[in-house]
Amino acid sequence: MSKAEIRRAIKSLKNGKAPGEDMITAELLKADLEFTTDRVKERIDTIWSLEKIPRKWKRGLIIKIPKKRKFRECMARSDHPTSC
């Protein structure tokens, strides 16, 4: 993967989105595009040569966010809204 491809991918990230488990936002990655591009390139090159993906990268976090209407209904009929 070339630096130009990485740079394009970083630039295309949408601002204002919630960060992942690492708390890194698109805005943070874009703040110093050259630094970020270099670090990502180093990581990709290392992964490519070792042929091994870091274990932490395989982990994901999914949070269910109810729609407002359903949440209100749930709150109105339940003492335990976390069970909705």
**Domain coordinates of the chain in residue numbers?**
3-83
Render 33-73 in DSSP notation, one character per residue: HHHHHHHHHHHHHHHHHHT---GGGG---------HHHHHH
Hey, what are 51's tokens? 């042929």
In this prediction, what percent of the chain has a pLDDT beyond 70?
A: 79
DSSP reduced 3-state for 13: coil
In the prediction, which pLDDT does 77 show? 62
In the prediction, which pLDDT does 82 show? 54
In tens, the pLDDT along 10-46 reads: 999 999 998 888 889 999 999 999 999 999 999 999 9
pTM check: above 0.75:
no
